Amino acid sequence: MDALTAHRFQFAFTITYHYLFPQLTMGLALLIAVLKYMGLRGNVRANEAARFWIKVFALAFVMGVVTGIPLEFQFGTNWARFSEASGGVISQTLAMEGVFAFVLESAFLGLLVYGEKRLSARAHFAAAVAVCVGTWMSGWFIIVTNAFMQHPVGHEVLDDGTIALVSLSAYLTNPWAFVQYAHTMVGSVVTASFVMTGIGAYYTLLDEHREHAALFLKVGIVAGVLSSIAIALPTGDLQSKMVAEHQPITFAAMEGHFETEEGAGLVIVGQPNMETMTIDNPIVAPRMLSIMTHQRWASRIEGLNEYPRAEWPDNVPLLYYAYHVMVGLGTMFMALMVLAAFFLKRGTLRKKRLLLWALLIATPFPFIANTAGWMTSELGRQPWLIHGVMRTADGTSLQVSGGNTLFTLLGFMGLYALLSLVYILALVKIVQKGPATGSASESH
């Protein structure tokens, strides 16, 4: 394996694995804060439910921490030339994330997990809010970093190739970052609400923990229906318009749009064929791409044919599939959650066993959708490391060979396989034990 491929593979693997956990913790932190708030208002079940979810949260948080630290380090270990060139800019937000976000969440996590008996109800609620704010801030700083790579602002390229920071405020208020943050955070709420709903459905189908399960379903479905709608409209829609405007090549590739057209159709399914530059077995919604992108019947959408191949993302079919998986799953999430909300409102959800089964089985899919979304944005960014400024091939650490990187990549794979096993065993144990009745503060 050549060094560039090994570096890219390792970063992609480790960050994709990492993001399985923060997408759960960021969303759960919000739902836990909501449950703690309901508890504060006198709902005893909500407080017990929060205690259960804090365990799920703590487990995922530990996983997020141990898999996150390697990412921070990899900027230096594997992407030394990128770090040296862009250190003036991206180090600001990476350090801010540490100073403002990680310190906050990790200081209060201990109080959230261990502190219920010692703290007053209010202080424990405050700890839940602090952890939530911490995780959401860490999301912001990392998204700003990534947004700079997608759409660099606030910088200047010097003669020696160094990327200098010109305006910190412009960098921190990158318009790309706002849209990306909104979409990513909503995606994280989708994950957490599907997990909460899924476990609620599981207990309901088993007829265990009745009252708690009803609460999980209620909170999960309300959050789920809101976030499943918001993930498409307005946030997903804004994302695609932004990509169409600033990264037209990426846009054409992810839509599977090879030839420039006026009144372009939207490819719903089909397989990109890179030899013939067409979509095999296509199902196309005529004119929809033009309508969705420009709100015009016959607007012109550039195809990949307009651009030299060296400017194309290097894996067009994977990019196309990733995008279509995300959008396809998003559509299904919306349908499922709207249906569930309908029966929840009518009060007959408990009896709809088929729907409960669907909600249970849906639990892992938001993880897939989020991963596919990130693959869309990261593969779509290729061949650029910083869009229009620095190529991915110019960012690696020169002295770290492919062989050494493959060694560590295999090491991470083995280690993360072990982590997954332990995580699943521990999660199953928590779910089997289930939420308990009783109150920690009563025993005071």
User: What is the binding site for ligand HDD (CB under 6 A)?
Assistant: 150, 180, 183-184, 187, 190, 231-232, 236-237, 239-240, 243, 250, 326-327, 329-331, 333, 366, 369-370, 373-374, 376-377, 380
Residue 323 contacts ligand HEM per CB under 6 A: no
Residue 432 contacts other proteins per CB under 8 A: no
Which of 59, 177, 223, 316 touches other proteins by CB under 8 A?
59
- For the record, the structure tokens of 121 come out as 């109800």
3-state DSSP of 384-441? EEECCCEEHHHCCCCCCCHHHHHHHHHHHHHHHHHHHHHHHHHHHHHHHHCCCCCCCC
Decide which of other proteins, ligand HEM, ligand HDD, none touches 243; Cβ closer than 5 to 8 Å per partner kind: ligand HDD
User: In degrees rounded to 5, what are phi and psi of residue 354?
Assistant: -65, -45
Q: Which stretch binds other proteins (CB under 8 A): 24-32, 72-80, 228-236, 262-270?
A: 72-80
Strand 261-262 relative to strand 390-391, pairing: unpaired
Q: Least CB distance from residue 224 to ligand HDD, whole Å?
A: 11
Tell me how far apart the alpha carbons of residues 156 and 151 are, in angstroms, rounded to a whole number: 13
Decide which of ligand HDD, other proteins, ligand HEM, none touches 201; Cβ closer than 5 to 8 Å per partner kind: none
**DSSP-derived 3-state class of residue 21:** coil
For residue 272, give the H/E element and its range. strand 266-273
- For the record, the structure tokens of 412 come out as 């991470």
Which of 34, 65, 157, 214 touches other proteins by CB under 8 A?
65
Q: Determine the residue type at 9.
A: F
Q: Least CB distance from residue 6 to other proteins, whole Å?
A: 12
Tokens 């007829």 locate to 207
Decide which of ligand HEM, other proteins, ligand HDD, none touches 12; Cβ closer than 5 to 8 Å per partner kind: ligand HEM
Strand partners, 40: none
> Nearest 5 degrees, angle CA 24-CA 149-CA 279?
80
For residue 112, give the H/E element and its range. helix 103-114
Residue closer to ligand HDD (CB basis): 56 or 243: 243
Residue closer to ligand HEM (CB basis): 139 or 272: 139
Decide which of other proteins, ligand HEM, ligand HDD, none touches 183; Cβ closer than 5 to 8 Å per partner kind: ligand HDD
Decide which of ligand HDD, other proteins, ligand HEM, none touches 260; Cβ closer than 5 to 8 Å per partner kind: none
**Cβ neighbours for 426, distance < 8 A, ≥ 6 positions apart:** 59
Residue closer to ligand HEM (CB basis): 200 or 313: 313
- The answer to whether the peptide bond before residue 234 is cis (omega within 30 degrees of 0) is yes
Tell me how far apart the alpha carbons of residues 372 and 366 are, in angstroms, rounded to a whole number: 10
> Mask of contacts with other proteins, 143-162, x by CB under 8 A?
-------------------x
Residue 1 contacts ligand HEM per CB under 6 A: no
Decide which of ligand HEM, other proteins, ligand HDD, none touches 50; Cβ closer than 5 to 8 Å per partner kind: none
Residue 52 contacts ligand HEM per CB under 6 A: no
- For the record, the structure tokens of 345 come out as 């409102």
Decide which of ligand HEM, ligand HDD, other proteins, none touches 145; Cβ closer than 5 to 8 Å per partner kind: ligand HEM
CB 127 within 8 Å of CB 112? yes
CB 262 within 8 Å of CB 290? yes
Q: Determine the residue type at 277.
A: M
User: In degrees rounded to 5, what are phi and psi of residue 61?
Assistant: -65, -45
Which residues in this chain contact ligand HEM in the complex, by CB under 6 A?
A: 8, 11-12, 15-16, 18-19, 21-22, 25-26, 61, 64-65, 68-69, 71-72, 79, 94, 102, 105-106, 135, 138-139, 142, 145-146, 149, 184, 371, 374-375, 378-379, 381-382, 385, 392
